[in-house]
């Protein structure tokens, strides 16, 4: 349909157009859009007058584009579609498609303001409760009334490909009364979906569930690396801290919400009913299908559609107390786990708390992460007319402590 | 001793020289130092060639100065002392002392990167445990082994004087099974001392306790406003979130560590002994004396010297897992409470969980904050030769929801 000649099911076709920041041959960070196997240099396009965004596309990160709001997002996307779907090739565009996606280095696509992590999968919360607090009700009484969340460390959000050093910290050995210090022996992943805030809000105001798409620009994949032994000893009474703060990886391509319209599906029915500020005039989620790959073996396929709390509810909750959001805020769904054993988003769950080894290709087995292990989370969703929306991947290799 | 003619016990004498960002008659934010009742315009001083800081003093916030590191901090301070203590008045300096501190508006002095809140007062932890979890051990087993902390919301750190809107949220009424929604009815303060990071660290590295003063530039006062009813319902299992995230106020003047050398005192002995990474070759704290003023009545005098965990230990703990720090990171001590009832840093403690009204001037009584209430936290420490180091104040007025 286009001079580009992409296959109809290319995960980076014109129905997708995810944004990122890449560094190519000249070592200058530029905003790009992934198109098939190539990167379209938007900074170059804007410099040449082929697209207009008040300079936002010539920035070294996505923040000015994010801050521009829905009118700018729509205008840029419309123009890109126009350029890329013309039957006759527009002059000058191909000059900015000179680099292959596998030749460039992706950078953190936006400067992260605040990072919040939710806990919105009932299957995950239940699994973790059963493993960590046997004999107690697995999900606490507040869980179905509000999307539980907490603040993570924004400064240690890193882009896909960044090596992950095994963290050291205090752990309480089984049966011991005092902690020891050393490298984590229960290093884990959390497969999540993250939402990127573009348009800020004022301190003292709320964002309603209906205004979700006015503020949120798009979606990244998130691996919220977790040291379960450090976390277990430290987390009472104020929550996770060093067990999580050493690194959180995100994918390099931000898929705009506009690419996910066709992936909208009804969100799970909530029982009991929720308080007014969490009600949604049009309650929907996204059918994003994740895959977790451990040293080359697909070990799990977490389904985002199962999440009990939607991203619109999460944003409404986050701001209901008057807290403001900023351009570059990132909030993640929490670990995505479905009802089946092969749909869980953490190795804590996959290995039943480390008691059931997981088989990988070549006869290897694992409970938690070993040095040198590589974990990749990837995802797709359905686009219009049989198109596939690819999220790329978030990957990391464990380095020794 | 100086052409300035300040009183020897002026809390903003040349032994102090705290940095802030002020907006004066021309509405342009500038870096200034408080000198007596006046503000010395450092941007103007540098523009006129009276001090050299590679432009860091001409910035709209303190971040470039913070990033400059100890060599720059020392050089700037030395030059300021030289200019201000000359017996003969140096030409041109008085031109930049034209504005009174009570005429300018203070801005947030630095862009806050990550905000971490610790929980380092054993008296506070014990008081809160007794009030919120009666019948259980007030302080948990991990508390004496590590400085418990968590991440707060950086984007809602505001400067002194910013009005505080009463937050709304979910609360579980006593005896109820399901939550209701509305304005917090247990709105509280937390009087704390915050440490401002200047020099960043690399991901995957640690900062030792001995390197504290290489990274930390100075100190602010912190009021970590807290909605106890929202917090109580939401905080299990992942810690405080909306009960804290609506606002955290800080003072406008950052007191450099260099001004606090004389205020160093031995920190409390720790029993049991701590793990190696928390040991300090020269264990010290600071004798910072806080005052909490509620509608004009001094209700408490929290003593920072009582804190069990020192700021050097907090920073070492924060980074022991390899988490990096950035210029502008703020970490706060946690609520400062001493052993006596009139030394506590929260109204939860002062009113014994809301059961014992606190008497204010004019016959008023309070348990938690009412609309229109004004809370001011101020502090002093000892300087060299009888000098007093003033921290200014952090103040806020409660606006209706």
Q: Residue B53, Cα to own-chain centre: how many angstroms?
A: 26
Q: What is the pLDDT of residue A23?
A: 97
Residue A177's alpha-carbon distances to A185, A225, B145, in angstroms, are 18, 27, 11
Cα separation, A14 vs B126, whole angstroms? 59
Contacts of A140 in chain B (CB under 8 A): 236-237
Residue A345's alpha-carbon distances to A124, B8, B169, B374, in angstroms, are 8, 63, 30, 47
**Mean pLDDT, range B108-115, rounded to an integer:** 98
Among B108, B113, B124, B151, the residue to mutate for chain A (most A Cβ within 10 A): B151
pLDDT digits (tens, 9 = 90+) for A96-141: 999 999 999 999 999 999 999 999 999 999 999 999 888 999 999 9
Q: What is the pLDDT of residue A42?
A: 98
- Interface contact B146-A179, CB threshold 8 A: yes
A1: pLDDT strictly greater than 70: no
CB of B369 within 8 A of CB of B397?
no
Closest CA to A335 of A128, A26, A49, A90: A128
Residue A2: pLDDT band with limits 50, 70, 90: confident
Nearest to A155 among B114, B277, B320 (CB): B114
Q: What is the DSSP string of B307-363?
A: -SS-HHHHHHHHHTTS----TT-EEE------SSGGG-SSHHHHTTTTTSPEE-GGG
Contacts of B139 in chain A (CB under 8 A): none
Closest CA to A119 of A215, A239, A20: A239
Global ipTM: 0.97
Tallying the residues shown for chain B, one arrives at: 401
Cα separation, A362 vs B136, whole angstroms? 50
Among A322, A332, A371, the residue to mutate for chain B (most B Cβ within 10 A): A322
B1: pLDDT strictly greater than 70: no
Residue B170: pLDDT band with limits 50, 70, 90: very high
Nearest to A323 among B240, B246, B277 (CB): B246
- Token pair for A374: 């590589």
Residue B143's alpha-carbon distances to A29, A353, B147, B277, B307, in angstroms, are 45, 25, 7, 16, 13
Cα separation, B235 vs B357, whole angstroms? 26
Question: Rounded to a whole number, what is the distance in Å from the CA of B7 to chain A's nearest CA?
Answer: 41
- Interface contact B156-A203, CB threshold 8 A: yes
CB of B289 within 8 A of CB of B221?
no
Closest CA to B257 of B302, B310, B307, B206: B310
Q: What is the pLDDT of residue A133?
A: 86
- Interface contact B325-A181, CB threshold 8 A: no
Q: What is the pLDDT of residue B34?
A: 98
Chain A CA closest to residue B401: A204
Beta bridge partners of A65: none
Q: Residue B153, Cα to own-chain centre: how many angstroms?
A: 15
> What value does the CA radius of gyration of chain A take, rounded to a whole number of Å?
21
Cα separation, A249 vs A326, whole angstroms? 20
CB of A328 within 8 A of CB of A197?
yes
Task: Compute the C-alpha angle A141/A147/A151, nearest 5°.
Answer: 115
Task: Compute the C-alpha angle B24/B26/B30, nearest 5°.
Answer: 55
Strand order in the sheet with B289-294: B164-165, B388-399, B374-382, B289-294, B297-300
Q: What is the pLDDT of residue B133?
A: 86
Q: Which residue has the tokens 């408080």?
A: B34
- Interface contact B168-A272, CB threshold 8 A: no
**Mean pLDDT, range B106-117, rounded to an integer:** 98
State the catalytic residue, choosing from B124, B151, B215, B317. B124
Q: What is the pLDDT of residue A320?
A: 98
Contacts of A151 in chain B (CB under 8 A): 150-153, 241, 245
Question: Rounded to a whole number, what is the distance in Å from the CA of B271 to chain A's nearest CA?
Answer: 12
pLDDT digits (tens, 9 = 90+) for A241-299: 999 999 999 999 999 999 999 999 999 999 999 999 999 999 999 999 999 999 999 99
**Mean pLDDT, range B53-74, rounded to an integer:** 98
Tallying the residues shown for chain A, one arrives at: 401
- Interface contact B237-A140, CB threshold 8 A: yes
**Mean pLDDT, range B318-336, rounded to an integer:** 98
How much of chain B, in percent, has pLDDT values that exceed 70?
Answer: 100
pLDDT digits (tens, 9 = 90+) for A54-69: 999 999 999 999 999 9
Q: Which residue has the tokens 């009570």?
A: B102
A366 phi, psi to nearest 5 deg: -145, 150
Cα separation, B23 vs B43, whole angstroms? 12
- Token pair for B34: 């408080």
- Token pair for B29: 């934010």
Contacts of A169 in chain B (CB under 8 A): 320-321
- Taking the CA of residue A120 as centre, how many other CA atoms within 13 Å lie in the half-sphere pointing to its CB? 32
Q: Which residue has the tokens 């009832």?
A: B341
- Interface contact A320-B242, CB threshold 8 A: yes
Q: What is the pLDDT of residue A52?
A: 97
A71: pLDDT strictly greater than 70: yes
Among B137, B215, B241, B400, the residue to mutate for chain A (most A Cβ within 10 A): B241
Contacts of B246 in chain A (CB under 8 A): 321-323
pLDDT digits (tens, 9 = 90+) for B368-377: 999 999 999 9
Cα separation, A292 vs A35, whole angstroms? 24
- Taking the CA of residue B367 as centre, how many other CA atoms within 13 Å lie in the half-sphere pointing to its CB? 10
pTM, to two decimals: 0.98
Cα separation, B255 vs B23, whole angstroms? 19
Q: What is the pLDDT of residue B2?
A: 78
End-to-end CA distance of chain A: 51
Chain A CA closest to residue B148: A234
End-to-end CA distance of chain B: 51
pLDDT digits (tens, 9 = 90+) for A325-382: 999 999 999 999 999 999 999 999 999 999 999 999 999 999 999 999 999 999 999 9
Q: What is the pLDDT of residue A110?
A: 98
Contacts of B204 in chain A (CB under 8 A): 165, 399
Among A144, A182, A321, the residue to mutate for chain B (most B Cβ within 10 A): A321
Question: Rounded to a whole number, what is the distance in Å from the CA of A234 to chain B's nearest CA?
Answer: 7
Beta bridge partners of A111: none
Residues of A designated catalytic: 124
B30: pLDDT strictly greater than 70: yes
**Residue A164 DSSP code:** E
Q: What is the DSSP string of A192-260?
A: EEEEEE-S---TT----GGGHHHHEEEEEEEE--EEHHHHHHH-TTT--SHHHHT-EEE-S-BEEGGGG
- Token pair for B153: 């919301």
Cα separation, A223 vs A307, whole angstroms? 17
């Amino acid at each position: 349909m286009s001079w580009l000649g992409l296959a109809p099911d290319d995960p980076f076709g014109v129905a997708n157009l995810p944004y990122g920041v890449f560094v190519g041959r000249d070592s200058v960070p530029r905003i790009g859009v992934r198109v098939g196997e190539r990167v379209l240099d938007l900074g170059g396009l804007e410099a040449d007058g082929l697209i207009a965004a008040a300079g936002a596309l010539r920035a070294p990160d996505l923040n000015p584009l994010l801050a521009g709001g829905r009118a700018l997002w729509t205008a840029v996307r419309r123009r890109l579609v126009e350029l890329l779907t013309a039957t006759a090739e527009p002059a000058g565009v191909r000059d900015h498609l000179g680099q292959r996606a596998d030749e460039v280095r992706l950078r953190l696509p936006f400067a992260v303001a605040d990072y919040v992590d939710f806990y919105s999968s009932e299957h995950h919360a239940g699994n973790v409760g059963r493993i960590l607090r046997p004999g107690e009700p697995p999900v606490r009484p507040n869980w179905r009334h509000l999307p539980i969340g907490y603040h993570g460390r924004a400064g240690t959000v890193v882009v896909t490909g960044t090596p992950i050093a095994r963290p050291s910290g205090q752990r309480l050995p089984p049966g011991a009364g005092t902690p020891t210090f050393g490298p984590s022996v229960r290093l884990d992943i959390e497969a999540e979906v993250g939402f990127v805030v573009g348009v800020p809000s004022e301190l003292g105001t709320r964002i309603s569930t209906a205004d979700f798409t006015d503020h949120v620009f798009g979606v990244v994949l998130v691996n919220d690396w977790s040291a379960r032994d450090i976390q277990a000893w430290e987390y009472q009474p104020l929550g996770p801290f060093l067990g999580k703060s050493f690194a959180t990886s995100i994918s390099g391509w931000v898929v705009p919400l506009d690419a996910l319209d066709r992936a909208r599906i009804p969100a799970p029915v909530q029982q009991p009913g929720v308080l007014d500020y969490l009600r949604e005039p049009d309650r929907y989620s996204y059918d994003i299908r994740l895959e977790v790959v451990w040293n080359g073996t697909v070990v799990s396929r977490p389904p985002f559609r199962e999440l009990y709390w939607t991203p619109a509810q999460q944003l409404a909750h986050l701001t209901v107390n008057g807290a403001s959001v900023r351009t570059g805020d990132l909030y993640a769904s929490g670990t995505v786990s479905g009802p089946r054993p092969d749909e869980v988003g953490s190795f804590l769950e996959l290995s039943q708390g480390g008691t059931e080894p997981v088989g990988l290709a070549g006869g290897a087995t694992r409970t938690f992460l070993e040095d040198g292990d590589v974990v990749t989370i990837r995802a797709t969703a359905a686009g219009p007319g049989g198109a596939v929306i690819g999220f790329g991947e978030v990957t990391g290799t464990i380095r020794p402590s």
